[in-house]
Structure 1
Amino acid sequence: MGSQLADGAGGNVDWAVVHWVNGLAEHLPHGVDSGLAYLGEYGIPLASVLLLLGAWLTARRESSAPAGVAGVLWAGLAAGLALLMNIPVRAMVQRPRPFVDHPGQIDLLLKHQSNGSFASDHATFTMAVAIGLFLVNRRLGLVGIGLAAIEGFLRIFAGVHYPSDILGGYALATAVVLLLAPIAMAVLTPFVQALTRTALAPLVRAPARAAGRGRGPAVHPVGPGDGPGSDPEQPEQDLAA
């Protein structure tokens, strides 16, 4: 199956895109090309993890915190599950990477193993986080999708993946997140709600701030015994004066 992906019209398009995108490195200042490659290797996946953390902190402050936190939890778990499912896929396809298929024709921008190329772990992980977050918070989900798109481009740019490897990772991630979401949420939502009754409740709901803190002196309502003349040490003023 790996040879089928590499040969034929589809393989020619794959190689043409890799050759063009990877060739952009020749026009960049020295060091920028390798910096972008390492951004794809480590920086974007780390940004996806930080986005996941930000989504959790946001969900804790919402009125529907248990459901939101459960959704964020599923986004993280789905990303890990998609990576596990990619292991047998890569073993079955056994597709050589571009720098293995085309020795001497690729500017390999970082050291990489010559293991299977399809599907991309990096694309799978970043897109799984993005789709999972989109189900909870559309704004953060769109940011995640943008990060996944940049990640895919940078993996091609580095010379370690074909475009179809990236698209395969996106498809695998999307399928895992969406198909298993109903079952996962049916289990995770009650579990997260149960945590609110334990010492781990702050993981689900942000602790409420004390009323009046940082807002100036407290204002006390006037009671029946308050008002002019209520203080025995103060003589009552003549209101008619």
Structure 2
Amino acid sequence: MSGETVAPSFQRGSKSALIPILIFAVVASLSLGGVRGVDYMIMHGLNRLSGRSAILDHAIFGLTKDMFSSVILLSLVVYAWYGTLDAAKRAGILVGVFMSFASGIISRVLQLLLPTHHRPLHDAALHFRIPFGVQADTLNHWASFPSDHAAVTFGLACTLYLANIRVGRVAFALVALLNLVRIYLGLHYPSDVLAGGMLGIALVVTTRPFQDSRIVRGILAWEFSHRALFYALAFYLCFGIATLFNDYRSALADIAKMVVPHS
């Protein structure tokens, strides 16, 4: 398209994902090894502001709502998709969106498999002052490392950057703000966000070659021949990703409570 910013390309076999992979590995080893100095320093700095102004805390908490966060991010995905007719870029967006969501699933699995990593809200050693509007028992049944929210959102930002640099810059700025908010609220340590973000970016970058696969080409051809159905399903999928499929997860959790006997 005329005036469209050309995004960087990643060739097959590119080593571009090595940096985020290495950062994820280093952060994971340090964080899970009990090294908390930097995390605590940042948390103590941010926590000086919390609990002092109900207006400030509630305004910050409001930014975690889907309409102010992930819905905007997925709207940028739609903008980038319609902003180009380049089949390769659309293929990259398609693969990137799926891989971003996959990174969230991988992150959630890691939360279950790795040693328990309490959130700042529930870390007695941190002496965290809870901001107004945050419930003390929020997410107390889930470990926080790595952040699945960061994995998905940074993966999407990377996807957008590879499709359109200007849109990608806006996306990265938005994602950085939203994850900083989650740190401020005590939902994650900085290392949780950094590791999750690197996981999402690494997965998006390393799977770039799949945009040339027969499956992706078939999906794009199907989009051309079945536009109404394709975009209806795309809308449903994007809405689910924007909400991290909370309704499905809640329903499955309720079913699990009924099926699995309590000890």
TM-score by shorter chain over 0.5: yes
Taking the aligned partners of 1:203 and 1:75, their CA distance within structure 2 comes to: 17
Q: Aligned AA for 1:51?
A: L
Give the CA deviation at 1:203.
6.4
Matched, 1:36 2:60: yes
Taking the aligned partners of 1:4 and 1:71, their CA distance within structure 2 comes to: 33
Taking the aligned partners of 2:186 and 2:224, their CA distance within structure 1 comes to: 51
Residue deviations 1:86-131, cap 9 Å, x none?
A: 1221112220111111375331442321110111122111101011
Matched, 1:11 2:36: yes
Q: Aligned AA for 1:199?
A: H
Aligned to 1:97: 119
Q: 1:7 to 1:106 in 2, by over 3 A?
A: farther
Taking the aligned partners of 1:131 and 1:3, their CA distance within structure 2 comes to: 24
Aligned to 1:119: 146
Residue deviations 1:194-240, cap 9 Å, x none?
A: 23652328969xxxxxxxxxxxxxxxxxxxxxxxxxxxxxxxxxxxx
Aligned to 2:72: 47
The higher relative CO (CA closer than 8 Å, separation ≥ 6) is in 2
Taking the aligned partners of 2:76 and 2:166, their CA distance within structure 1 comes to: 11
List gaps (5 residues or longer) in structure 2.
Answer: 1-27, 232-263
Task: Tell me the matched-pair count.
Answer: 198
Matched, 1:22 2:53: no
Deviation beyond 6 Å, 4+ runs, structure 1? 201-204
Taking the aligned partners of 2:29 and 2:196, their CA distance within structure 1 comes to: 18
- Name which of 107, 112, 119 aligns with 2:130: 107
Query: Radius of gyration: which is bigger?
Result: 1
Q: 1:41 to 1:187 in 2, by over 3 A?
A: farther
Matched, 1:58 2:79: no
What's the TM-score once normalised by structure 2's chain length?
0.66
Aligned to 2:108: 87
Taking the aligned partners of 1:133 and 1:105, their CA distance within structure 2 comes to: 35
Taking the aligned partners of 1:3 and 1:81, their CA distance within structure 2 comes to: 22
CA RMSD, Structure 1 to Structure 2 (Å): 2.8
Query: Taking every aligned residue pair, what percent have the same amino acid on both sides?
Result: 26
List gaps (5 residues or longer) in structure 1.
Answer: 205-241
Aligned to 1:69: 90
Q: 1:7 to 1:139 in 2, by over 3 A?
A: same
- Whether the 8 Å contact between 1:127 and 1:148 is mirrored in structure 2 is yes
